[in-house]
Amino acid sequence: MRIRTWFKKTPIGRLVWRVLIGLVGGLITVLGAIALVGPGPGILIVLAGLGILASEFAWAARVMVHTRTYAQKAADKVGIPKWAQLAMVAGAAVISIIVILYLHSAGKL
């Protein structure tokens, strides 16, 4: 946390830090939203982006809790056991990593 402390020493540094966190968290959240309809563990990526945003913005923490609750309600409605939910998320993450590695090694990424 030394970098964060260094940035937060001055008012301009605090503003730069918030903008930086906003850009990184926003980008990851948008990529997660794209992954919701494309290949990949979209909800996990969205939650990761919201988690980054929540480190500086209170509204993002509220949205993250709401999103997590919504995802859990949807999973409960379908009736998928918790172990199967976790297995599907882990499988999707592994498949996404394999696809990314393949595309990178093929020179397409």
Give a yes or no: residue 65 inside a domain: yes
pLDDT of residue 1: 58
Q: Is residue 100 domain-resident?
A: no
> Domain containing 34: what range?
2-79
How many structural domains are present in the chain?
Answer: 1
The pLDDT value given to residue 109: 67
- pLDDT given for residue 38 in this prediction: 74
**DSSP one-letter string for 92-108:** HHHHHHHHHHHHHHTT-
Neighbours of 19 (CB within 10 A): 11
Task: Scan for tokens 């996990």, then name that residue.
Answer: 44
Give every residue of the chain whose pLDDT is below 50, as ranges: none
Q: Is 86 a member of any domain? A: no
Asked if residue 84 is part of any domain, the answer here is no
Global pTM exceeds 0.75: no
